[in-house]
Each structure stands twice: as structure tokens, then as C-alpha cells.
Structure 1
Amino acid sequence: MATLAPIRDRYLQLAEDPQHVQAVLRAGADRARGSANAKVRQAKAAIGLLPGWVGVHGSSAIRVADGDPSGRPS
């Protein structure tokens, strides 16, 4: 039981302030959502799921320019 004492103590400390725990969880979710959205957009562009985008070159998406279906940058 002594091995788990620090974990139990931290649990009890966090349980005293549930609003703080919720705020920390919200902040983490917001950060994760931001990076996840960027990755999802990049993936969708790479497989052609975004209108007007034909793929990814390196770290940037290539947009169809002025109706050019090849997707080559102008």
C-alpha cells in the first residue's frame, strides 16, 4: 500500500478542486483539437476530399489554380 500512497495523495488533492481539473482537461482538449484539425485537413487534402484541393506536396497542400485541373502551382 505504501507504493500507492503518492498516487492516492495526488488523487485526493485533485478531488478537492474539480473546477481546476475540468479547466485543465478543457485546455488540453482545445490544444489537441487544434493540432488534430490541421492533420485532418492535411489528410483530406492529400486524398482529395477537400473541394478545390488536389493533393499535398511536401508540407503544403496544392490548390487548383484558376480551373487548372493539373494542380500545378502558377
Structure 2
Amino acid sequence: MAGPPEGFTYRVRKNGDVELLHHGRPAGVLRGATAARFLAEVDEIDPQELMARLTGNYRHGNERAARNHPRNRRR
């Protein structure tokens, strides 16, 4: 099973956009209402998990089980 997400940081731009970084490289930009919601939630929940979810770099832990499913065995 994969460990907790790590390596995410963010910075707020002058225009209010939020830039998400993963190990210093751009991973996404949040604008408008999404950026405001992110800034409100980042203090309440685990920021690493939140940023991983928003960028799509979130492992669900079921990759190994899905590989062994009968539908995927032939691949």
C-alpha cells in the first residue's frame, strides 16, 4: 500500500490564483472559487492529501487488487 502523499507545496499569486507544486514543479493552478475553497480548507484538513486530490496524484491503494481482478488478468 502506498504511503501518505508528500512533497506538495502551494503559493498564492498576486491575482489570487493558487499554484500547486509537487517537489518544486508546477502540478496545477486553482482559480476563482476553487482557489478560495482550497485556502479555506487547507487549514482544516491534511494539506498534503488535499493537494494530492486536487492535482490527481492521489493513489487509492487498490491498484494491486485491480490488477488481479478477473477482468484485468489477461492484460
The alignment's TM-score, normalised by the length of structure 1, stands at 0.29
Structure having greater relative contact order (Cα 8 Å, sep ≥ 6): 2
Q: Which structure has greater strand proportion?
A: 2
Larger Rg: 1 or 2?
1
The alignment's TM-score, normalised by the length of structure 2, stands at 0.29
